[in-house]
Chain A
Amino acid sequence: MDLNQLTAHELLDRLKKGQVVSKSILDSLYARIQAVEPKVKAYARFKPGDKLSLNLQASALSAGLPITIKDNICTEGLNTECCSKILADFQPPYDATVISKLKAAGSSIFPLKSNMDEFAFGSSTENSYFGTTHNPWDLGSVPGGSSGGSAAAVASDEAIWALGSDTGGSIRQPASFCGVVGLKPTYGRVSRFGLIAFASSLDQIGPITKDVEDAAILTRIISGYDPNDSTSVNQEVPDYTKSLGNEIKGLKIGTPKEYFIEGMDAQVKSVIEEAVNRLKSLGGAINQVSLPHTQYAVPVYYIIATAEASSNLARFDGVQYGYRAKSTSLIDMYKKTRAEGFGEEAKRRIILGTFALSHGYYDAYYLRALKVRTLIKNDFDAVFKDFDCIVAPTSPTPAFKIGERTQDPLKMYLSDIYTISVNLAGIPAISIPCGFTKNGLPVGLQIMAKPFNEEMLFRVAHAFEQNTEWHKVKPRL
C-alpha cells in the first residue's frame, strides 16, 4: 500500500517509530494528486502540472502529518476564498484557532485547500467558483456538500485526513456520499474563530477521515475553549481515543420513526436496516423513538441559516478584501461588486435571509423559526432522557448525478433533511460508512448523541466499524 492510502493513526505511528519521514508522505500525496485530481477535482485552484514543490518543501520542513483544509478556514498567507469570486486572492493575515492548534500539535497544513460550495451554500459542491468536484465512486455523481472537496480528497487518498465545516450537514452528508467518516461536533466544542461565517448559531468545524480512530484523534486536537470565540464552551476535552474499543452491550439506541419515511431510497433503507441489525447483534438495545417536529427542520433551517448568512455576508462589499467592481459611486460599487462577486445560490440565500429579517416579515418568519427551533431541540432532549444515542440514515439517497438538482433549489435543500435537525439542536453527530447500493455507491449511518457526548459517538461508531469492513473498501479510480 502507498503511504497516502494509510490512515493518519497508522502514519503517526510510523512517524513516531522513525519508519517514515514526512517528506515521503507528501511525495506520495503529490503523486496521487497528479494522477487522479484531473478526474476528481477535490482541490480548489489546482492546475494540472502545477509544481507544488516550493510549497511542499516549505511544509516538509515541519515534520508533521499533512492535513487538508476546507477553503473557508483561514490559513495565514495561504489563499482562503470560500470558493467564491468575491474573495478572489484573499490571503488571511491570521490563522483560524483550529489551524493554530493543528500546528501546535505538529501537523503541516497542506498547501492546497479543498473545494466547496461557495460560502458552504449547497449540498453537492456544484456551487463552487472553481467548478464541481466529482464523486470518486462514480465520477458522474456529486460528492455531496458543502465539504465535498474534503470528503472526495480523503476518499480518493488525495488527502490523509481533512477538516470540513458543517452548518446543516456539510460534513456528514459528503462523508456519507464518499464513504468516509465525518463528525459535526457539539456547537461550542470547536472554536469558530477564523472560520468564515455562514450561519454563526449553526456552524461547526469538524474532521473528515478514513476511520473512526482518526476522527477521535483529530477532534481532540481541534476542540477546546477559545477566548476568541464567545460561543466556545469552557469544558475539558477528553481523550476521545479512550472511547474506542469499548463494547456497546446494553446501550439504549433509538431509531426515529420520522426518519424512515417515504421518499427514502429503497436501497439506502435496506442498508440502514442491516446496519441497525448489526448494532443489535453487538448488544445494542434498539427501540423506535419519535422526533415529532422533524418535518419542520428544513423550513426552519432555511429561515435561520439564510437570515444569519445575509448578515454575515454583508462584509463582502469590495472595501476590505477580495473582488471590487469598477464604479464611481459607493452604493453602486457595493451593488455591482456583490452582483459580480457572488454566485447564484449565494444571491438566493442572501435575498431570502434579508426578506426573513425585513420589516413586516420578521415575526412571521424569523421569530417563528426560532420558536420552532426550540420545539426541535425539545424533541431531542426528551429522547435523550431515556436513550444513549440515536441512529438514522445520514441522507435519504446515495450520491445523486451531477446537474440533477441544480435547477430546483428546493429539491436540493431537501437533500439535508436528516442532517439539519442536529445543527438546529446543537448536538453532535457522526456519519460512518455502513454499506453500498447495488451500483456501488456508499451509504452513511448517522449517530447522534447528547451535547458534549462525542465519546458516545466514537464508542458506537468504532464498535460498528471494527465489526464491519466497509471503511476498508476503496474506490477504483
Chain B
Amino acid sequence: MAIDKETVEYVAHLARIELKPEELERLSRQLHDIIGFIDQLSALDVEQVKPASHILPISNVLREDKPHVCLTPDKALENAPSKIGNFFSVPKIIE
C-alpha cells in the first residue's frame, strides 16, 4: 500500500501537527519507504492468529472503590502554561 502526500497531510491534521511544505515533502517520501518496508507483513497468513492485545495473562485489573489521596489542584496546575483560578486556561473555543 502506498502512502501519498495527501494522506500524510490528512493524517498530520488528525495528529494536530502543522507541517511546513518542505517537511510534508520529506515526511511523505520517508513514510512511503517505511510503509513499503512494513508491507512485508502482508506476506504472512495470519487469518487464524489471535492478536496479542495483552502480552501477559492478566486482565480486568480494577482498584478498590475507595477514596484516596491524589494531587491537589495547586500541584496539578503547577506546570500550566496558563491558568485562571483552579482552571487551565486555553484560547477561546467558541467564536
* Cα distance, A350 to B55, chains bound together (Å): 23
- Kindly count the residue-residue contacts between A and B in the assembled complex, taking CB atoms under 8 Å apart: 166
Among A108-116, A258-266, A326-334, the stretch that binds chain B is: A326-334
Binary interface encoding of chain A residues 267-300 relative to chain B, with 1 for a CB under 8 A from any of its CBs, else 0: 0000000000000000000000000000110111
Contacts of B15 in A (CB 8 A): 310, 338, 350-351, 354
Question: Which residues of A come within 8 Å of B, CB atoms?
Answer: 89-91, 93-94, 187-188, 201, 227, 230-231, 233, 295-296, 298-300, 302-303, 310, 314, 317-324, 327-336, 338-339, 342, 344, 347-348, 350-352, 354-355, 358, 361, 364-365, 367-375, 377, 409-410, 413, 424-426, 451
Binary interface encoding of chain B residues 57-75 relative to chain A, with 1 for a CB under 8 A from any of its CBs, else 0: 0100101000000010001
- B1-36 contacts to A, CB under 8 A, are 1, 3, 7-8, 11-12, 14-20, 23, 27, 30-31, 33-35
* Cα distance, A347 to B22, chains bound together (Å): 14
Question: Which residues of B come within 8 Å of A, CB atoms?
Answer: 1, 3, 7-8, 11-12, 14-20, 23, 27, 30-31, 33-35, 37-42, 44, 46, 49-56, 58, 61, 63, 71, 75-76, 78-82, 88, 90-93
Task: Give the residue name and chain of the A residue nearest to B58 (CB).
Answer: A233
Contact of A330 among B8, B56, B71, B90 (CB under 8 A): B90
User: Are B56 and A351 in contact (CB-based, < 8 A)?
Assistant: no
Chain B binding surface, main DSSP class: loop
Contacts of A371 in B (CB 8 A): 46, 49-52
* Cα distance, A254 to B15, chains bound together (Å): 43
Contacts of A187 in B (CB 8 A): 55-56
Contacts of A331 in B (CB 8 A): 16
Q: Given A319-B80, A374-B49, A410-B34, list of 9 further CB < 8 A pairs?
A: A91-B78, A187-B56, A334-B16, A339-B18, A339-B19, A347-B17, A364-B42, A374-B51, A426-B56
Contacts of A351 in B (CB 8 A): 8, 11-12, 15, 17, 27, 31
User: Are B3 and A339 in contact (CB-based, < 8 A)?
Assistant: no
